Copies of this chain bind each other. A is one copy, B any other.
Amino acid sequence: MLVVPELICREATADDWSAIWPIFAAVVSTGDTYAFDPEIAEADARAAWMLEGTRQQTFVAVDDDRVVATAIVKPNQPGLGDHVANAAWMVAPSTAGRGVGRRLAEHVLDAARAMGFTAMQFNAVVETNLRAVGLWQSLGFDIVGTVPGAYRHRAEGAVGLHIMHRQL
């Protein structure tokens, strides 16, 4: 595996959106990993992804001044469920397979702990996205259950969505 020794993981700023949007658009366009409409409008993507606050935040991984991956963390439920974080990751297709996703994931797990979350839950891991499923399992996530046919995969048709979870 090629490595990215200078990778810096940090909170995103509003100025990062112009570099995040091409990654977001490329990732959702394939219709095989995210529920977002593959033709989502930029404004809707920005509203969904650019979070700011003490309980929700957007992150980027930067390699030599280039944003190569991004992640978000937010409460998975309000009120009496807000100790469980929800999170999502996107890696630039040109960077996939170089360990960037894992390193940003480890950064975000630490950040979520620092934000006071005691667990993390994913609601919609596409069951055919074996790279993601394997990454999360290697990072300590369990598959809590699989909702059958809940995702209209562009190539595979209706496939299941895993709910995955780990304590932090």
A91 at interface, CB cutoff 8 A: no
Copies in the complex: 2
Asked whether B149 lies within 8 Å of A79 as measured between CB atoms, the reply is no
Binds B, one of A5-13, A34-42, A63-71, A129-137: A34-42
Asked whether B165 lies within 8 Å of A81 as measured between CB atoms, the reply is no
Asked whether B163 lies within 8 Å of A84 as measured between CB atoms, the reply is no
A146 at interface, CB cutoff 8 A: yes
Contact of A77 among B35, B148, B165, B167 (CB under 8 A): B35
Binds B, one of A17-25, A51-59, A102-110, A118-126: A118-126
Asked whether A153 lies within 8 Å of B79 as measured between CB atoms, the reply is no
For A84, A119, A150, which residue has the most chain B Cβ atoms within 10 angstroms?
A: A150
A26 at interface, CB cutoff 8 A: no
Asked whether B163 lies within 8 Å of A145 as measured between CB atoms, the reply is yes
Asked whether B35 lies within 8 Å of A151 as measured between CB atoms, the reply is no
Asked whether B147 lies within 8 Å of A84 as measured between CB atoms, the reply is yes
Tell whether A80 pairs with B147 under 8 Å between CB atoms, given A123-B123, A163-B163.
Answer: no
Tell whether A77 pairs with B152 under 8 Å between CB atoms, given A145-B144, A147-B144, A147-B165.
Answer: no
| Residues of chain B within 8 A of A36, CB atoms compared | 78-80
A residues with CB within 8 A of B: 28, 31, 34-38, 40, 48, 76-84, 119, 121, 123-124, 143-154, 161, 163, 165, 167
